[in-house]
Amino acid sequence: MATASGAFKSREDHRKQLELEEARKAGLAPAELDEDGKEINPHIPQYMSSAPWYLNAERPSLKHQRNWKSDPNYTKSWYDRGAKIYQADKYRKGACENCGAMSHDTRSCMERPRKLGAKWTGKHIAPDEKIEQFELDYDGKRDRWNGYDAASYAHVIERYEARDEARRKFLKEQQLKKLEEKNNKDDKEGGDSDNEDCEDALKVDEAKVDESKQMDFAKVEKRVRTTGGGSTGTVRNLRIREDTAKYLLNLDVNSAHYDPKTRSMREDPLPDMDPNEKFYAGDNQNRVSGQALEFKQLNIHAWEAFDKGHDVHMQAAPSQAEMLYKNFKINKEKLKVQTKDDVMEKYGNAASDDTLPRELLLGQSEKEVEYDRAGRIVKGQEMSLPRSKYEEDVYINNHTTVWGSWWKDHQWGYKCCKQTIRNSYCTGAAGIEAAEASAGLMKANIARKEAAEDTHVPVEEKRLATWGTEVPEDLILDQKRLTEAIKKEEEKRREEKDERKRKYNVKYNDEVTPEEMEAYRMKRVHQDDPMKDFLH
């Protein structure tokens, strides 16, 4: 068993600790205090980061859980490697017996063991090393690169550059050697030549050396899929590092979109650039050029053939679809040539080298034509009338004229019967007389209607009856009294709607005058009136 005080060394210590805890629970012994001098609650488990709310604990119990923030005293610096602080002239007491430095003892000395140490010779005393103590935080203790000197990587770069330079030099020597052997071989076969030619042959231009072999592409270990589980092989990375990435050709945010997942840029990033100087014109350029365009046309032909009833499928039978497409192109070319030959045979070919006939070239012929003084043709050549592509002088439905030979009131018709209905049967002269009689009758009816509308018949105005009957002729109403009666009727109706406007002294008169009766009749709401909802 272990407590907050740590592990026990013996059974006696364990027994004493148990007695002390029992005494503290009974209140006979003082409570245990923490590092800050505050009492530790024995009911709170010491491994908990936050105490329950019912224990009234103000803070967690463990020290490393009280302060989660890093201590400002922590540092990220590292040891100063190889730094010396003091160079002694003679051996000092307590120093290393081997080298004479005070920073370590003899057992920890990293120098080569001397035959006679510095303690006995007093010579070649090693300087004291700089000893530092750092208090690192949690991240500092686990930082793999803590204390790494970036300047030390320059040695790695120099080593790789030296290796690459040696490789290029070796490759160039091999190329020069092969070229010299080839030149010597040509000289032996062709005989002796001038000294100048020999000197020029030995001078090999650096441009003749194949640069692709000098690049020495980096070797990449790539796992190749096989049926047996795969094997590791060496594959060269053939991407040219000097090429500019497609997404760096145009840095405008509104330019062609680049999809990083598929590494595709369909549109042209530089549409305004000269096509002769353009190296990359977008991925869509590959879709409309080369074999991609031919494959696209093959697919379109297969779809159209399938829609027209042919049993062809590009994925199921690609060879059959390709053969049909080839036959289609051959037949199409034959049809085009045949059509061209027919047109040239019928109308001739103005671009050919064949000479035209003399009568056509000079406009002369053996036919005799006679003209009058006005220039009209009298004899020898008949005037050819232009003919239409439609049928002419074809009469249908007993008509003697064609449609469109008669025009009236913005309508076309037949002149023989004056009908404006196309494809109607011809009625002849009887139809013309009937149409004229019908038109005359219609005009007479229209004139009669207009005359009836012009004569206005006055309508007698009927007044409302006073006592429910028709108004007699001898009844005379005073307009002034009628106006006053209407006002009183309106005030009465307002009082009926709102009792607050009714006065205390109300006088009723049983005598009803004709004017008051007329005002009541005028203001009364008729239940049968369809416009009663819109009154007042």
Segment 35-91, tens digit of pLDDT: 455 555 555 444 445 555 665 556 555 544 455 555 666 666 788 888 999 999 999
Per-residue pLDDT, 465? 45
- Say yes or no to pLDDT of 6 above 50: no
Give the contacts of 488 (CB within 8 A, at least 6 positions apart).
516, 519
Q: Indicate whether 400 pLDDT > 80.
A: yes
Q: What is the average per-residue pLDDT within 452-477? A: 59
Rounded CA separation 480/303 (Å): 96
CA distance 416 to 178: 106
pLDDT at 456: 58
Higher pLDDT, 4 or 240: 240
**Cβ neighbours of 486 (radius 10 Å):** 17
The DSSP result for 164-194, as a single string, is: HHHHHHHHHHHHHHHHHHHHHHHHHHH----
Vertex 467 angle, CA 462 and 470, to 5°: 30
Which tops the pLDDT comparison, 134 or 264?
264
The residue ranking higher by pLDDT, 524 or 156, is 156
Average pLDDT value for residue range 104-115 = 94
**Mean pLDDT over the full length of the chain:** 76
Q: How far apart are the first and last CA of the chain?
A: 101
Q: What are 68's two structure tokens? A: 């989660």
The H or E element that residue 378 is part of is strand 377-379
**Could you tell me which residue, 412 or 191, shows the higher pLDDT?**
412
435 or 161: which leads in pLDDT? 161
Band of pLDDT at residue 118, cut at 50, 70 and 90: very high
Our CA dihedral for 382, 386, 389, 390, rounded to 10 degrees, sits at: -90
Give the residue, 493 or 502, on which the prediction is more confident. Answer: 493
At 199, is the pLDDT very low, low, confident or very high (cuts 50, 70, 90)?
Answer: very low
Give the three-class secondary structure for 14: helix
> How many CB atoms are located within 10 Å of the residue 519 CB?
23
Record the pTM.
Answer: 0.26
How would residue 203 be classed by pLDDT, with cut points 50, 70 and 90? very low
Return the residue matching tokens 């027994």. Answer: 15
At 122, list the tokens. 């007093």
Report, as an integer, the average pLDDT of 283-296: 86
